Amino acid sequence: MPEPTLNYVSCPDASGGHRMAYWQWGDAAAAHVVVCVHGLSRQGRDFDVLAQALVERAAQPVRVVCPDVAGRGRSDWLKDPAGYQIPTYVGDMLALMAQLHGQAPIATLDWVGTSMGGLIGMGLCGTPKLPLPVAVRRLVLNDVGPAIQWEALQRIGTYLGNTGRFDSVQQAADAMWAVSTSFGPHTPGQWLALSQAMVKPLPGGGVTLHYDPSIAVPFRSLTAESAQQGQAALWQLYDNMAAQTLLLRGAQSDLLSAQTASEMTRRGPRARLVEFEGIGHAPTLVAGEQVDVVTGFLLDQKNPP
């Protein structure tokens, strides 16, 4: 099985800067770039199956770039935990786009964002006059939208930041599955593959989850009232978007309500909605049906936006 290359980009911040890691698949000189960005406590290797499918199925060369957002995976941890918020991540992605464009000019830019990665994509697509090399052409929002259910945030808050200590990768995988059953059915092999990059070895033996526990600090400052207030700004971003948009939803999602998803088909870019039965928050884009939907949307040359 092919492996991606691990790369880094320097990103500015108020504490002297940090490095963001990213995994690159396919042709490093390809003018078509697909950026895939993970959820809140995940990392870029979540997209291994989708990235390989995109590279194999594309009629023309494609670069698939999967960042580890700051504080996750191989990226630096931020000195100031208050920076673990969407505006920081959007700035980091602009630095990434500039570096990729400098290495080989980008002519076509697509974005796949799961949960938090979708919010970052909305920030990039919905904020006027950002210095992107080219506008995002096609955007996949994976189980996320401008309105996020407070109950889901409360659920996530029960485990976020508890990185733990485990005797083995399998033990860590089992613990992650206990809080991730909403991802839907996976074979043991599929779940272990998704879990391996989620852990790192501890000096005294065993492993721990591969993210900075402090990503929970800004998250825990959220209240029902502040979350509600943020929705207006998110809807404004969404209404500003021009990218052709595919909205994926786990039919049992507790984060993206059916009502919000329906409204997203009528507002802004009028997203095309695809729901997956038997899945909550969020589809992992590993199952064949999910991969087919995303690759078909991003690679279909018969129906350009």
Question: pLDDT tens digit string along 232-275?
Answer: 999 999 999 999 999 999 999 999 999 999 999 999 999 999 99
Return the pLDDT at 305: 39
Show the low-confidence residues of the chain (pLDDT under 50): 303-305
* Residue 267 three-state SS: coil
Domain that holds residue 275: 5-148+230-299
Cα dihedral 226, 227, 231, 232, rounded to 10, equals -10
CA torsion sign, 150 to 156 to 160 to 162? positive
Distance between CA atoms of residues 266 and 291, nearest Å: 25
Asked if 226 and 234 touch (Cβ cutoff 8 Å), the reply is no
What residues are paired with 24 via a beta bridge? 5, 65
Structural domain contains residue 111: yes
- Whole-structure pTM value: 0.96
Task: Decide if 120 is inside a domain.
Answer: yes
pLDDT score at 300: 81
Q: Is residue 181 part of a domain?
A: no
43, part of any domain: yes
Number of domains in the chain: 1
Q: In this structure, is residue 220 part of a structural domain?
A: no
Does the residue 13 lie in any domain?
Answer: yes
Would you say residue 42 lies in a domain?
yes
How far apart, in whole angstroms, are the C-alpha atoms of residue 28 and residue 42?
Answer: 24
The conformational region for residue 244 under phi > 0 = left, psi -120 to 50 = alpha, else beta, is: beta
By CB atoms closer than 10 A (0-12, 13-18, 19+), residue 266 is exposed
In a domain, 253, yes or no: yes
CATH number for the domain that contains residue 275 = 3.40.50.1820
pLDDT at position 50 is 98
